[in-house]
Amino acid sequence: MRQVYLVTYDIADDTRRNLVFKILRGFGDHLQFSVFRCELAPIERIRLRTRLQDAIHNDDDQVLFADLGPSEGRGLRAMTSLGRPYSPPDRRAIVF
């Protein structure tokens, strides 16, 4: 079952921060500066955490995962906003 995670990061070094951004972009949707929404199956979550663990320095950096629930159900309704409304990205395959 896929779960929705809100992933945020605080990375002390520009090079590592860029790497963390690229890793997360491969797993989820970029919402704000250091915030991603990721729908992950259990194996994807393990892969993401492993890649991030290899990219960060444990003494200087932090990555937080907030489990918002299953992607079918509460996970979609857990996001609310002030100001501009939140809308999940349109996920359609584009074939050339």
Domains of the chain by start residue, with CATH: 3-77 (3.30.70.240)
The two three-digit tokens of residue 33, written as one number: 């500066």
Residues 6+ apart with CB under 8 A from 75: 3, 4, 39, 68, 69
In sequence order, what DSSP letters do the residues of 38-57 get, joined into one string? EEE-HHHHHHHHHHHHHHS-
Are 69 and 38 a contacting pair, CB within 8 Å? no
Distance in angstroms (rounded) separating the CA atoms of residues 10 and 64? 9
The pTM for the full model equals 0.82
Picking from 61, 63, 91, the residue whose alpha carbon sits closest to that of residue 6 is: 63
Query: pLDDT by residue (tens digit) across 43-67?
Result: 999 999 999 999 999 999 999 999 9
pLDDT digits (tens, 9 = 90+) for 71-84: 877 655 677 767 67
